[in-house]
Structure 1
């Protein structure tokens, strides 16, 4: 049997070149199989990608204005959730009838967030597992965690997205249990992000017995909500999530930790807010999640005012 014909290169626009988008762009550039450019605020000529055992500086094409953009095959939305409206002009210029939009963001409701700006283009919600750190505007570091780097639904668009990363360092998995995986990732974020942000400590803080116990309470509330939303979560899901988090290197940070240190707004509503809102829909109390959400909103609002 002859090998399958090689797929033609895709045109890919990456919006947001931070810890998530920088890694995705860098890995695609490493393989050199597609025509990729980044949508950024300031001009960049290259992107340095550090990953275990290697570092490479890769030439990068960057656009700084939506006016210079045209429809592409793929758009990778890699901004924070609260920045989605701000990138609307980019999405409107980049999306055509055949465009597919992969949303690599935290929380729930990926398709609903981008729908007002993409003119009916197909959406691929993506769950990001890898740990990324933005060392400079043109320099990112990838630390793989777990058995996969990204997960998407096992459907035609999900499989097409996974195919984009064939031959790259990123491990993209498809799953028929996407809703459950989405909630499991939300649980990881609900534990790790608030604790690291509020204590201003990296993931080593999760090893404190008192913080560990608090995480279990937060997760217990969220698991009950996730089940009501249709996720197939185990009876001991909270304990499993904490066990998984304790396998991560204690020196790793979280996105909310880095945003707190940098004085940037936080994704509190996309993570804890999603849990609290779903709890309200189902009549499930979430007092610990609500308390953390209130504290994080105060930090985020102060950052918005200062900015």
Structure 2
């Protein structure tokens, strides 16, 4: 497959490198020091700080702009959410030539934005599960064995393009699943993502202390229950008690597990909070669903949302 990976960070860099190593024709769209390092030294994957690299792609096709990609069967989007609006129109050239588009970004707003600029039939739904970051330019560092993509047609049909991508992922050696209800799958991840990102960022602690303290544990539960209520009000087939399931899942995680938004907060980077807890609060206002916990998180983090570096 010819695959264009837009955003070579923790998600795009990891899965793109695995796909390239297995024989897919992968072009990374990256920027800055990370792009320069990939061009000069390749792309490296390693499990944890100080660990030996377990994959080194010495030859990497990396460009600065999607306009430099001539053809693609599939475009994987893994940039931050705030880039989506500007990015989407630039994909039409490749879509008109037959490319499918799948976003592995956080949240539920991503596909709404893509549909405003691209034909709905070109868009697949997708979610990623991995704890990974750019440790330094040209190096992706990941934690744990959870390395999974889930994707599918919004119609629920297992199309040939979905099957082809699934086969490519299998050859690459990471877990991949085809979802028959990708909208629900995206929202199921969203429930926990909002809970984890919102609490770790606003409380400034990893999941271990949050789930151990009765008051912060209840707060995490309430945050996720609000997301479930909003999703159900939008017609998503979420179980009414799905937040209970996600709280039990939180108990299985390593106590030092945190969120990418918490990492961004610590580094003074821009935050995705307007599309996570802030997005839940906005949906809540539109649908008449109370979301006091998510609104509180969005308010607490408002001064940091644009980043604090410099």
Distance 1:145 1:178, change over 3 A: farther
- Compare 152-161 and 262-271 and name the one that shifted more: 152-161
SS of the aligned residue for 1:130 comes to strand
Partner of 1:242: 247
Shift of 1:267: 0.9
Q: How far is 1:212 from its partner?
A: 0.9
SS class of match (2:257): coil
Contact conserved, 2:44 with 2:53, CA < 8 A, in 1? no
Return 5+ residue gaps in structure 1 as ranges. Answer: 1-9
Q: Would you say 1:48 and 2:44 are equivalent positions? A: yes
Structure 2, gaps ≥5 residues long: none
User: In the alignment, which residue of structure 1 is the partner of 2:262?
Assistant: 257
Pick from 180, 186, 206 the counterpart of residue 182 of structure 1: 186
- Please list, as runs of the form range in 1=range in 2, the aligned pairs for 1:1-307 lying within 5 A after superposition: 10-31=1-22, 33-42=23-32, 43=36, 44-45=38-39, 46-51=42-47, 55-58=54-57, 59-88=59-88, 90-92=90-92, 94-118=94-118, 122-144=122-144, 149-153=148-152, 154-155=156-157, 156=159, 157-209=161-213, 210-303=215-308, 306=309
Contact between 1:272 and 1:289, CA under 8 Å: does it hold in 2?
yes
Give 1:6's aligned residue: none
How far has the Cα of 1:25 moved from its partner? 1.0
Shift of 1:302: 4.6
Looking at structure 1, the residues matched to 68 and 127 of structure 2 have their Cα atoms a distance apart, in angstroms, of: 29
User: Which string of whole-angstrom CA distances, capped at 9 and with x for unpartnered residues, describes residues 3-62 of structure 1?
Assistant: xxxxxxx2111111111111111211231x211111111322311112499611113111
CA contact (8 A) 1:82 1:267 kept: yes
Count of residue correspondences? 294
SS in 1 for 2:301: helix
Q: Distance in 2 between matches of 1:92 and 1:226?
A: 30
Runs of 4+ with >6 A deviation: none
Q: Do 2:198 and 2:294's aligned partners in 1 also have CA atoms closer than 8 Å?
A: no
Deviation at 1:221, TM superposition (A): 1.8
Contact residue 70 and residue 93 of structure 1 kept, 8 A:
no
TM-score, with structure 2 as normaliser: 0.85
Aligned-pair CA distance for 1:151:
1.3
CA distance in 1, matches of 2:148, 2:232: 24
* Deviation for aligned residue 1:268: 1.0
Asked whether the 8 Å contact 2:43–2:56 carries over to 1, the reply is: yes
Greater Cα offset, 223-232 or 285-294: 223-232
- For the aligned residue pairs, the C-alpha RMSD in angstroms reads 2.5
Residue 262 to residue 282, structure 1, CA distance change in 2 (3 Å): same
Worse-matched range after superposition: 269-278 or 97-106: 269-278
Deviations 1:281-300 (A, max 9, x none): 32111111111112223211
